[in-house]
Amino acid sequence: MAAAGSGATSGHENWSSRSAFILAAVGSAVGLGNMWRFPAEAGENGGGAFVLFYIFCVLLIGLPVLLSEVLIGRHGQASAPDSVRKVAEDSNASKSWSLIGSLGVFAAFLILSFYCVVGGWVVYYIGVFLGDLFQTGLTGGAFEGRAAEDIESLLPGLFGNGSLMVGLNLAFLAATIFFVARGVSSGIEWVAVYLMPMFFLLFLGITIYGAFTGNFGEAVGYLFTFDFSKLTGEVMLAAVGQAFFSLSLGVAGMITYGSYASRNTNLGETSGIIAGADTAVALLAGLAIFPIVFAAGLSASAGPGLMFQSLPIAFQAMPFGSLIGLAFFIMVFFAALTSSVSLLEAPTAFVKDRFGMSRAMATLLVGAGAAVLGVLSSLSFNDMADFRPLGFIPLFAEANFFDALDGVTAKLFMPIGAIMTCIFVGWVADAKLIDDENGLDGVLHQTWRALVRYVCPIILAVILFFGIFG
């Protein structure tokens, strides 16, 4: 094995090259968070003000935490908890810090379970547009002759069908399991190296299509006109949460991916590329979706329904509507799969290392757990809609199973994990060890260190507080 990483001696797997690492990490970051959640959040939170603050969050909080996470992984060359433990040991700090990794791995497992539920919806829309392409033909709009309410009701129709929801959820999870079971270089890397370029191609095509056939001017105005009166506390909270989710932070995913990086990868630079690519895709997703939605005269603030309901309606009036709709959802599927793969990898690497299991066994075990939770999440839209798993906690009293998992991970696990990571890297870990890993020097290094020590933990603590009590 040519990899220079110290992991080569311990049997820990490695990326086959730096670009494979970048593609995989960008694949992890770019997902439903960019294509579905970002435009939905931007639309619900007033457009420009949200977008500007989002970029600010990525730079000031997301990027420093991202570098902290990959750095821990690269030094540890092991699963997330063991990587944190290694850094702690080498810094003469308490081994209990490995809790960061354990909590993260657990949170990644929880996120995986409901992420695959939404992945299932994407598969459903691929089916819908494929069927429509055969029915209405290539050139016209999608869903010829069908009423807008009809198209809009596809999503609630799916939600009402428990067995279909479960089936699609498990299909998406099965695809994820398949690639993770094949390993880092032949499975996870394969998805990244083949699917991410296809994603970018389709994405570019659809953005250009939107720019020419849609209302591009209105979309640009909407996303980039910064109206500061709209920047409320709520909007800021939404922006930080979105930045974290989009960059796959706070839950050990990036620690795990960093652990496969070789010693000669410059982590500072690589983190910048990952964060930059993720943010570019989120902004471009807005520039792909809003022109199409505006051209159809639909509202920007449809929230979660924006991608799954407004967009299909908009495709009705567009040339090549069925084909573009199909391409769009295939593209989202690729992005989602490269993300779910990273969510499964974090807990799998842990189970594999800790219990000395084969990768295949570990993947199946974690996957089976995610299947059980996924079924409960899928059914929380229909048969189990009245089940309130965390009814005893006021914060989550009204949440069904799906919302409870989403809420617990976004409001508790992610901020807590990130705060602990910042304190650990900024204050506890040996400064020399950190300096050797981060690939930064001069002013950049000083800035990063100040952000990790002071700015990030304080802002994150505020977020945690308002997330719970606000």
For binding to ligand TRP (CB under 6 A), which residues are involved?
28-29, 31-34, 108, 111, 245-246, 248, 251, 253, 339, 342-343
Nearer to ligand TRP, 111 or 202 (CB): 111
Angle (CA) 125 126 128, round 5°: 60
Residues 6+ away with beta carbon under 8 Å from 469: none
Return the number of the residue (142 or 460) whose C-beta is nearest ligand TRP: 460
Least distance in angstroms from the C-beta of 27 to ligand TRP = 9
* CB closer to ligand TRP out of 383 and 403: 403
Q: Which residues contact 230 (CB under 8 A, 6 or more apart)?
A: 45, 46, 47, 48, 49, 50
Beta carbon nearer to ligand TRP, 34 or 45? 34
- CA atoms within 13 Å, Cβ hemisphere of 220: 7
For the bound state, the minimum distance from the C-beta of residue 340 to ligand TRP, rounded and expressed in Å, comes to 7
Q: How far is the CB of 68 from ligand TRP (least distance, A)?
A: 14
Residue with Cβ nearer ligand TRP (322 or 339): 339
Placement of tokens 């409320």 in the chain: 232
The least distance separating ligand TRP from the CB of residue 244, rounded to whole angstroms, comes to: 7
CB of 219 to ligand TRP, least distance (A): 21
CB nearer to ligand TRP: pick between 294 and 413: 413
Nearer to ligand TRP, 57 or 142 (CB): 57
Closest approach, Cβ 77 to ligand TRP, in A, equals 20
Q: Cβ-closest residue to ligand TRP?
A: 33
Minimum Å gap between C-beta 41 and ligand TRP is: 12
Minimum CB distance to ligand TRP, residue 425 (Å) = 18
Q: How far is the CB of 320 from ligand TRP (least distance, A)?
A: 27
Nearer to ligand TRP, 188 or 440 (CB): 188
Nearest to ligand TRP of 362, 384 (CB atom): 362
User: Least distance to ligand TRP from the beta carbon of 274, Å?
Assistant: 11
Cβ proximity to ligand TRP: between 32 and 191 the closer is 32
**Whether the Cβ atoms of residue 65 and residue 243 lie closer than 8 Å to each other:** no
